[in-house]
Amino acid sequence: MRILICIAIIMGLTIDKSSSQDFFPMNLKSLISVEKTGDKIEIKPNSYFLNEKGFFLANDLLFVNKQSGEKVKLSSNSSQDKEEIRVDYYSTAKDLIRFIKRAGESGLKKMNENLFEHKDKNTTIQIAIKRNVQEGGKSYNLLSLVVIEDFTNGRMAIENRPIKFPVDYSYPLQNTTYYFDTDLKDDKSYTDEYFINVRLSKDAKYGNKITFLDDMNWKVTLANKQTFVGTYNQSTQDRQMINIGFNVTAVAPKVPKGYMQPIAQTGAIYNASELKKAKHDAAYYKFFFTKSYDLRFEGNDLWLSGKHYENYPTLAVPATKGN
């Protein structure tokens, strides 16, 4: 019986990993940068972003995740009349609901369940899905970002094109789970300023965990089983510091039918003095997930550090004299 249980656990882990999805629509753009060399373009893989997700160079512009069997192919084709850039992600994920939802939020027009597109006089941008594609004797869902520039009306400077591919220095948090702990400390140099920190670890050294569901959404599960959700975004400064901003999704409380619906609220604590006295429940931890942080690496862990400010005076606009 014990052997059967172990086998079931191993199979469960394998199935979970094989059905996971490492890249979402906005991530596909992050996998390359594009540079112009003379009249031609050169695509360069974002090796760091790919490597962090377990995808390593197999040959030319093909990256393979040996553990999951997934692949990423990068390509560009140029002719006198047009230029095409492709990012093809061969995914083993069976459930594409979240990918499709994020594609629908990308700003592209939904043509059908498998194609999202923007098209103008010179440019076509597509997020395309092809299901059950056979590649190397294995079945995949092919998730592609395709950008086509039409030169029949003249060439457009690369810096003026609707979609650009700069080097992306963000960290690939999507489809990962971290265990976390938080703390708040007084800044002894300034009154009403506080240092706030969130420590993230892939090891279960803390009781709470956060799952980055895709390239925008996350879910927190506390040790007491309380949960809450929200969104995040990343920005980089001078190629060095990564900043991560969090927002908690506001939820309107349920009321009996016929009653006025109250305004949706996050339920977070916003005051540091209240936080110090509060129980470590959802309201307590929501405080930390309404902030922005700088990210740095501590071994295999991530350290998010930021500041919380309180009681800043409001400056009134000087009154103007009447005529």
Per-residue pLDDT of the chain (323 residues; tens, 9 = 90+): 333 333 333 333 333 444 578 999 999 999 999 887 766 788 999 999 999 999 999 998 999 999 999 999 999 988 888 889 999 999 999 999 999 999 999 999 999 999 999 998 888 999 999 999 999 889 999 999 999 988 777 666 655 665 678 889 999 999 999 999 999 999 999 888 999 999 999 999 999 999 999 999 999 999 999 999 999 999 987 667 899 999 999 887 776 776 666 666 788 888 888 998 888 999 999 999 999 999 999 988 999 999 999 876 544 445 555 44
How confident is the model over 76-109, as pLDDT tens digits? Answer: 988 888 889 999 999 999 999 999 999 999 999 9
**pLDDT of amino acid 321:** 52
**pLDDT of amino acid 158:** 59
Please give, one letter per residue, the 3-state secondary structure of 1-61. CHHHHHHHHHHHHHHHHHCCCCCCHHHHHHCEEEEEECCEEEEEECHHHHHHCCCEEEECC
- Supply the pTM of this predicted model: 0.84
Helix (H) or strand (E) holding 285: helix 282-288
How confident is the model over 223-244, as pLDDT tens digits? Answer: 999 999 999 999 987 667 899 9
| Residue 309 burial (C-beta neighbours within 10 Å; 0-12, 13-18, 19+) | exposed
